[in-house]
Structure formats: structure tokens, C-alpha cells
Structure 1
Amino acid sequence: MKLTILGGGGFRVPLVYQALLSDQGEGRITSVTLYDTDRQRLNAITAVLKQQALSFADAPVVTPTTDLDEALRGADFVFSAIRVGGLEGRTIDERVALDLGVLGQETVGAGGIAYGLRTLPVATAIAQRVAVLAPDAWVINFTNPAGMVTESMLPYLGDRVIGICDSPSGLGRRAALALGLDASQTFYDYAGLNHLGWLRKLEYGGVDHLPSLLADSSALGQFEEGRLFGVEWLRSLGSIPNEYLHYYYFARETLAAVQSVEKTRGKFLLEQQSDFYAETARHPGDALELWQKTRAERESTYMVESREVADAGERDERDMSAGGYEQVALSLMRAIAHNERASLILNVRNRGTLEHLDDDAVVEIPCTVDANGARPITVSQLTDHQAGLVSSVKAVERSTIEAAASGSRATALRAFAWHPLIDSVNTAGKLLDGYVDHLPELSAFRA
């Protein structure tokens, strides 16, 4: 089978390839095509993958290309992992917002809207090419903002596009392990949107163990979300939020923490990865070693501002070694390709699962996956608080999708003004103008 990775020069691609190398099952991926518009990045990642494959006699063949149509033809699966505007764009997303006293995280709030506005036209164009050149392919979307991008591709690909994220499964796994449960046999009643969801039940052996976890202060202190949100707040909620909800529940403190550091996350990653790609170009024989060193530093500093606000300490080593979105992607591919029934938390059409949203709204919920794709599993309904926040952010997502398709400034302004982390229409207008001034892709929204 052929897998095509769009954004094939991206830093996290070797994680996907490593997962493919570990898959020795029948009918596995035998051909990987890497597509990217940046030849230097493509060459660097190709070098890393070749060195990963050295100890595997039957490693999937890697083919790099800068031709999108060539990459798509004959694909059985397409991973979309593009970053329109690169990390340079991410630093702008963050800085414009911070200069106006607003959080600019790349998928949450103002930064996520700006990122979406320039990414959605490219994502929908890709979806249209997939529909023509590889109509039987399954598209697995990694591109952020994942829920928004997946929903924008639905009109062209239908249920053959599925969004993935490792945050929900990681949360569930950590919560289960904190109680000594077998994470692989535990059902996670989780629901919401991408980067905006809650774990409401932790079912093992027919029993919901979440109340026991919430009652055990020691167990809550053993994993990331327990330390991030604190015992009192988690017990008040009666659920465990996705780590990204820290930006909502502790917005003031997180903003202050981000403003106090010399470099934003985007700036740090831009400098770090620029050094990696440049060094790999000079020393291609050391590509894998350079990548491993850079990745370890990247992972250890993930969401560092939020952990500092909560005094949560260093990131748990188990979180960095357990595998992330690449394992979710591999499980999804195998379930579809081999009709191996699996339960995964995915970004799919709602189909009546959450009563507060319409059927076509992309939500992040547990699904049963087999050769027919992903189907939502019945979960408990959102509380009023959860439904209110989810509905507000879904309205923002849809305004962003509409604005990206139409070029309407009024619709783009509405997306900024409606977001819960932006508390002024005047500020929303300044944000839009700031992004227009710094991002050529948004010139259509100029006043």
C-alpha cells in the first residue's frame, strides 16, 4: 500500500515512519511518498528516514517529490500535515496577538483563527485534487487547527477525511495509568472539539473509575492534567479537561506567563528547527542523531508556560516515550485497511452524537473504526458549561471557514470577535488588521 505524506519535510514525519517500521503485519505500508514545497526540508527528512530504515531489511520505500499530483496518484492513504506560512507564520500569529494583550497560541484563540484563515484555502484545494486523483484514498488530517481543517475538507471528501489528535488518547491513557488500570482495555467517555474536550468517564470492567480518580489527590498528582488544573478545580468540574483548556480556565495567568518570556513557542521552534535543517544540510550523515537531539528538547518544553503557571514541574518522561499521533494514525490505517475493528478518539462528523450541534459539525469523540471508516460511539451529553463553550468555539470555526472561502472581512472580523478569549470587538478589528499587515495570505481582508 502507498502512503502519501503532505508536508513531508515536516519535523515530526520521522515519528510516522518509525511507527511504520514497527508494523510487520500483513498488508502494511510498503511505499511512502513525501510531498513538500521546500526542497531543503524534504532532503533533510528523507535523510533521517533513510537512516531510520538501515536496520530494517524490508523498510517502506521512501520517495520525495515537490509535485503534488505525482504524490497523490495511486495513494491508498494521504496524511495531510502541512503548515502554510511555516513557523515564520506561527511567530506572527503569536506576536500580533500578544502585542494586543491576547493569547496567540497556534490552535486556540486569535492565533488559531489567523492560522486557519491562511490554511483553509490550501487544505480545500488539496481535498479537491485528492478527489480527482485518488478518489478511493482515505485522508487522515494532522493539519491544525485539526477540527476546522477537517470540516473544511468534508464537502469534497465526505467521510473519507478523518481528523486525528493525540491529546485525548494521551489524557485517557495517563488517567487510567494513574489508577493502575490497563489503558488498552479502558473506555474513555470523551467529547468536545479538537483541543476543547473533557474526559467524563473512565470505564474499566463495567465500572466508571473517574469518581475514584477525582477523590484520590495522590493519583491526580501523578499525571499532567491533574497537576495542570489542580485537585479543587477538577473536583468542581467533575471531569478532566484536555490540557489545552488551560488556556481558557487560566487565561489571565497563562497570558502573563507567555508575555514574560523572551521567546514565544513559535519563535523557539523556528530557531531550533532552522538550526536542525541547516545542520543536516551540512552533515547529512548525522541526520538521525541531529533529529533525535532536537526532538528531545522540543518535547521537554511542550506547554511549558502552562506548567509553570500550575507549578506542574517537568513533563513526565512517560508522556514523551509513549507515542503520540503517529500511533493513532497507524491504528486508524490498519483498522480501515484490514477491517480490524478499533476504538479511537477522532475528529469526525457529529451525526447526532452531541445534541447541541448539528449532524455535519466536526467533533472529537470516540469512534468505532473498520473498513467502512469511522462511526461515532454513543457518549454522555455535554453539560451546559461544556456545551456553551463548545457551541461558541464551533461558531468561530465556521465563521473562519466561511471567511476563508469568501474573502469576507466582515465574516473574518466576526470570527475574531466571537472567540471567548477575545473580549472586545475593537480588539478583534485590531487583530485582523495586524494579521493582514504581516501575512500576505490575508490581504483579501484588508479594510
Structure 2
Amino acid sequence: MKGNLKLVVIGGGSSYTPELIEGVIQHHGQLPIGEIWLVDIEAGAAKLQIITELSKRMVEKSKLLIEIHATTDRRKAIAGADFVCTQIRVGMLEARKWDEQIPLKYEVIGQETTGPGGLMNGLRTIPVILDICRDMEELAPDAWLLNFTNPAGMVTEAVLKHSNVKSVGLCNSPIGFQKWLAEFFELPSERIYSEFVGINHLHWVSDVFVDGVSRIQQLIDYPQTYHASNVPYQDWSHRFLSSLKAIPSYYLSYYYRTDELLQEQREAGRTSGSRAEVVQRLENELFELYRDPELAEKPKQLEQRGGAYYSEAAVLLMKSLHNDTRDIQTLNVRNGRIIDFLPEDASIEVNCVVTKQGPIPLPLSKIPESIKGVLAAVKQCESLTIEAAVHGDHGLALQAMVHHPLVPSVHIAEQLLDEMMQCNQAYLPLFHSSNPGKGVKGG
């Protein structure tokens, strides 16, 4: 029997899509999707075709009645959708390379979601996502937008502030940490509860309970914790964690170990290349596999791509929204009064009960005092970036850059912003304005 739900994947030519298809197949009994529309831009049409053919083979092997459609007509796909997943990269891997390489010239961390690279990624991406939201408001007003386009926290906040679309942001890091904990304790994850505090790519785990008993000290005393292949990592100092009384996300290495990571990034640039270059090689290898007409499942090599469990998180969220399961998931949602020193309309990353009406963030039992400064500072930079992206305001973009904790001075911020905006001109049309105080410097 064919399902009655319509899923649209914007960025359907992504190498991640087979994992999403696998999840839809595995959970079809609780998530009866009958149509999947894979959408991409003309520049991604070749990859879209390869992914579409693989997706059809996967569905055929499953013997489920799911129609797979591919199109570059976004509006045609969105019409009547129940769920829209966004997994786009504006400027593709070339723009990510700029995000990573240009800051390094100024002795600043270069990364696609953190620091100057993350801010520039937000300036490129937010207007495109808001265009998608306008299509959804017109053509699928009841649909849920599930965003795992980076920078996910900024994108989610922009949608919440500047559209009427029902939206939730996702990240693979929390679900990855939960799986790591299940292996660590050798228990099913249902018996483990972790409290996440923070924003996307800037969160801390303030406590971990097993059967209601806190085990955070045991984790602090253990010499290793969860990390991902796409972020350089070394074990945290035990002295540091003991006084912090929490476990930082591996992304916090960029803030807590800045000098070391700068050195690692420079060394990688001389040897293996930037992360964007590494990803490009992995993508090429994956698409060679995807082209195989005998392949009818997600290849194991996809796990090396980084971002493992993104699609699992998306499918679990869709299933919970559809069935009103009221389970707990870690999501990017509107703050309200959960983190009282952040604006109510900020996007935060915390545990939520997922209902048919949407996720409800759970109150936090504790927020470590020492994290509040960096959390508030980065959130302010993100909020400035969102408004800069929406209005094409160069002054706000500069203020976001100047005040980011990873940028050492006004002079470097100005140089960084000018060079990065120059490279990104093709993806920043709102900044080419004749209004005073707006537009790229000199143009």
C-alpha cells in the first residue's frame, strides 16, 4: 500500500541523500511516505540524476510503493508537501574552501560553521533558505521545514524570525553523542538521558543520567569522549573538565584550543589539504560508487564523509511529528525562556519533547556559569549576521565579524570581511545595493 506523505529534499543531489532514503525505507511502517521529490539546481543536475537512480534502486529492493521524482523546479516539488528537508550548500565546496582558507591567512580559525567562515556561510545561505520558505508559505503552508543546512543554528533562527514556516533545525552531533554513550555504558539509549545546553555547534552536556542517576563525573574521569572525524580533536584536560563540570562539544575545541587547532589547520593545508578539499575527494569516490547500476543500498564509505546520523535524526523527527510520539530529541528551536540570558527569539540547541504540534523545549536543570560569556557572545554575532544577511547590511556584517571571540582585532575583521565578501560576490546579491552604508566595500 502506498503511503500518503510527501517528502521534498532540497539539495537532493547531496551525497547524504542515500542515508535519508535508507531511513525512510526502514521506518516506512511509522512514516508512510508515498512520494519523495529530490530537488537541486542546474549546476547539480548530474549528481541529482545519479542520486535519483540509486534511490530508485534502493526503493525497488525494499519492495515499498514509494515514488521517486527528480526536478530542478523547486516550486513544483514543494506544492502540497508534508515535509521539506533542506541540505544545501550555497556556493558548493568552492565557497567552503574560501571559508576555511581565507581566515588562515590572518591567523584566524577557518571553518564552515565557526568563526568568520561560519558567518560568511550564513550571509550566503540565509537569503536562499528564506526564498524556499516563501515558496512553502504559498504552496505548502502546513508543511514542516527540517533544516540541516549549515550553519544550522543561524538558519533556524532566521526562519523563525523572518517567515511563518513551521521549522526545526537538526544536527548530527547530539545523536552521535547519544550513540557513543550507549556504547560506553553498554546500555540501550532509552535508559540514558543527556542534558544539552547551548546553540548549534556550541553546546555543552551539563549532566548525563543512567536510570535517573547522574554519571557525569564518571564521564569526566574517563580519558576519551565523543568526537567526529571532520573536526580535529584531542582529549580534554581532566583538570579543565572537573572544574567545568560539563562535557563540551568537540566544536568547542576551536575556542578552548585555538592555537593548537590553528597549527593543525595550517599543517593540514600543507599536507592533506583543507577539509573542503578532503570532502571533495570523498565525494568523488562516493559518486563513483553511486554510479554502479548494481548498487542498491547506502555504501559503508558514506560514514567517512562526516555528518553521520544527520539523516537518521531527520527521519526520527519526521516520524515523531507525524505520530505525536512525545519522545525526547535534541533540536534547534526557539529559546523562549529556556536560557534566560539569551533573547527569547534566539535559536538554541536543547532537548525537546516532540509533539504533533512541534517540539517543546525542556527546562534545563543547570547551566554552568563559566559558559555564559562565550555562549552569549557567539549568539550575538549570529543574530547580527542574520540581520546583515536579510537586509544586505555591510555594517552589521562587520560588527558580527569584529565581535566574534575568534577574531582578534577590528583591523583583521575589516580585512577578513572585505576579502571574503569579494570572493563571495556572486552569492551575496543583497549586498550590491546603492543604499548608503550597504553593499560590498568599493562596489
TM over 0.5: same fold? yes
Displacement of 1:48: 2.0
Aligned equivalents of 1:169, 1:284: Cα separation in 2? 31
Matches within 5 A, 1:202-217: 202-215=208-221, 217=222
Structure 2 partner of 1:295: 302
Q: Deviations over 1:168-194 (max 9, x none)?
A: 232233235323343222221111000
Deviation, 1:245, is 0.7
Q: Distance in 2 between matches of 1:222 and 1:25?
A: 35
Change (3 A) 1:238 1:245: same
C-alpha contact (below 8 Å) 1:124/1:153 kept by paired residues: yes
CA contact (8 A) 1:228 1:246 kept: no
Residue 338 of structure 1 aligns with which residue? 323
1:221 aligned residue (220, 224, 244):
224
CA contact (8 A) 1:331 1:342 kept: no
Alignment partner, residue 248 of structure 2: 241
Q: CA deviation at 1:204?
A: 2.3
Q: Which residue in the other structure is 1:425 paired with?
A: 410
Mapping 1:85-124, distance limit 5 Å: 85-124=91-130
Deviation for aligned residue 1:61:
1.6
CA–CA separation in structure 1 for the residues paired with 2:325 and 2:388: 39
Offset at residue 297 of structure 1 (A): 4.2
How far residue 243 of structure 1 moved from its aligned partner, in angstroms, is 1.2
Q: Structure 1 residue 185 and structure 2 residue 191: aligned?
A: yes
Q: Within 5 Å, which residues of 2 pair with 1:32-431?
A: 32-37=36-41, 38-158=44-164, 160-215=166-221, 217=222, 220-221=223-224, 223-224=226-227, 228-261=235-268, 262=270, 263-274=273-284, 276-277=286-287, 279=288, 283-285=291-293, 292=299, 294-299=301-306, 324-431=309-416
- Provide the C-alpha distance between the structure 1 equivalents of 2:77 and 2:182, rounded to a whole number of angstroms: 40
| Offset of residue 41 of structure 1 | 1.5
Q: Which shifted more, 63-72 or 353-362? A: 353-362
RMSD: 2.2
Once the two structures are TM-superposed, the CA of residue 55 in structure 1 deviates from its matched residue by: 1.9
Secondary structure of 2:265's counterpart equals helix
Percent identity of the aligned residues? 33
Q: In the TM superposition, what whole-angstrom CA distance separates every residue of 1:261-301 from its partner, at most 9, and x where no partner exists? A: 23100122124324654x479x5525668x736525434xx
Q: Per-residue CA shift, 1:130-181, capped at 9, x if unaligned?
A: 1111000011011110010011111354471000112023223323532334
> 1 CA distance for matches of 2:206 and 2:304?
33
After superposition, the C-alpha distances for 1:296-330 in whole angstroms (9 at most, x for unaligned) are 5434xx8xxxxxxxxxxxxxxxxxxxx61222111
Say which SS state the counterpart of residue 209 (structure 2) adopts: strand
Counterpart of 1:16 in structure 2 is 20
Q: Which residue type is aligned with residue 224 of structure 2?
A: G
List per-residue Cα deviations over 1:383-442 (Å, max 9, x = no partner): 232111111011110111111112121111111111111111111111111112211223
Letter in structure 2 aligned against 1:129: D
Distance 2:37 2:204 in 1: 36
Summarize the Cα distance change of 1:296–1:196 in structure 2 as closer, same or farther, 3 Å threshold. Answer: closer
**Contact persistence 1:201–1:210 (CA under 8 A):** yes
Q: CA deviation at 1:227?
A: 5.5
Matched to 1:197, the amino acid is H
Find the residue that maps to 2:198 and give its secondary structure.
Answer: strand
Secondary structure of the structure 1 residue equivalent to 2:299: helix
TM-score, L = length of structure 2:
0.89
Tell whether the 8 Å contact from 2:31 to 2:318 is kept in structure 1 after alignment.
Answer: no
**4+ long deviations beyond 4 Å:** 156-159, 274-277, 286-289
Q: How many pairs align?
A: 419
Distance 2:51 2:136 in 1: 24
Deviations 1:39-93 (A, max 9, x none): 1111011122123223211152210010011110110001011111001110111
Q: Give, in whole Å, the separation in 1 of the partners of 2:368 and 2:144.
A: 33
Letter aligned with residue 375 of structure 2: V
Amino acid paired to 1:285: P
Q: 1:399 & 1:421 partners in 2: Cα distance?
A: 16
Deviations 1:82-132 (A, max 9, x none): 111001110111111111111111001011011111111111111111111
CA contact (8 A) 1:34 1:42 kept: yes
Q: State the distance in 2 between where 1:268 and 1:66 align.
A: 28
Partner residue, 1:314: none
Q: Which moved more, 1:202-211 or 1:225-234?
A: 225-234
8 A Cα contact 2:54 2:295, kept in partner: yes
